Amino acid sequence: MSTAVPLTIDTDEQALFRDSVRSFAQQTVAPHVLQMDESQTMRRELIDAAFELGIMGIEIPEEFGGAGADISTAVVAIEELAAVDPSLSVCVDVQNTLVNNAILRWANDEQRQRYLPRLCSDMLASYCLSEPASGSDAFALQTRAVEEGDCYRLNGTKMWITNGAEAEFYLLFATVDPEAGYRGITAFLIERGFDGFSVGKKEDKLGIRASSTVTLHLEDCLVPKANVLGEVGKGYKIAIETLNEGRIGIGAQMIGLARGALDNARRYILERRQFGKAIADFQGIQFQFAEAATELEAARLLVYNAARLKDAGRPFLTEAAMAKLYSSRAAEKIASRCVELHGGVGFTKEFLAEKFYRDAKIGSIYEGTSNMQLQTIAKNLLG
């Protein structure tokens, strides 16, 4: 296992970036959070505002219009957004840690020139791996890609696709040879307007309800060979290595969510009075709050250490799995505790406590379940 990279104090530039994202989240996003949750709709103007703020292309080099920063910077943005709205946070997370990451690592020069400037400025992206029969068994794909002239003809269905309803660009995995198993998996760059491509059912979810999760249909969808990402048959490698970074992003989302829940609980227990004093003055409340804050700090250290290892070019797979595993568990536990700290009102939709609780559950499921993280950690440590 890799040695931890020392955590450093934010530089002035990093602190300014954090403050700018926090201000955006609190002033621009916060007024719409409850309405978006109720309507299960992401306001397009918030996505546009995220592009304008420069947080949709954090790791993309400046020559393409991006910030030219690193995943530690992306983690800052994802955490700050999740403290206010985990739905918008995962929207930004998928753009940065999955799609942009894959394009940067695997695209050829022509693909970079064609897509990176738009991924920074106005083109929301989606990552499309899962299928009805392919979840934790990620490469049991049935979506088929058949070579046809200068194109591939794709047929199949994708499921549980984040950002799918609003996206204009899709990084999608299909197999060119089902008999070859994972060695047939190939990554394709698909634009929303391609013939034969359509967005289907939108899921009615427990949490992160403003974040769209949809089914995608490919019916004789013709994709130019120029839109194959990397090499034919190497999509499995792209998927695995991209998701390794994606786990750090989910960890950032979870610590932001937990922090948002704890911040709201802190305000409440300082204001709520019983028996003639604030309930924060009771030791039982203080101990619960202290335990939650300690668990949050431990999760934050795991997430930021995994990000720093990645930025340093050092092995980070085990640490990323640990960060996602622990932060998702901590977020669910902390959000649950915060509902209790609110008492009866925490069980109502008038307060954000119940929303953070609902939003937290997905952390142990998407981009690799907790059991899959445990398997990854054990395999790496036990050889």
What residue type is assigned to position 198 of the chain?
S
**Alpha carbon distances (Å) from 376 to 81, 244, 330, 368, 382:** 28, 11, 19, 10, 10
The rounded distance, in Å, linking the Cα atoms of 159 and 165 is 12
Cα 63–247–310 angle (5° rounding)? 55
Q: Which of 79, 76, 84 is nearest to 32 (CA)?
A: 84
CB neighbours of 88 closer than 8 A, spacing ≥ 6?
25, 29, 42, 46, 47, 50, 81, 210, 211
Q: Which of 342, 364, 362, 369 is nearest to 353 (CA)?
A: 342
- DSSP SS3 for 155: strand
The rounded distance, in Å, linking the Cα atoms of 56 and 201 is 26
363 neighbors 303 (Cβ within 8 angstroms)? no
The token pair that represents 7 in the structure block: 């955590």
Which is the catalytic residue, given 79, 80, 319, 367? 367
181 neighbors 244 (Cβ within 8 angstroms)? no
For residue 63, count other CB atoms closer than 10 A to its CB.
Answer: 11
The token pair that represents 58 in the structure block: 């954090």
CB neighbours of 343 closer than 8 A, spacing ≥ 6?
272
What residue type is assigned to position 382 of the chain?
L
The token pair that represents 279 in the structure block: 């309930």
The token pair that represents 256 in the structure block: 């932001």
Catalytic residue status for 367: yes
Q: Which residues are catalytic?
A: 367
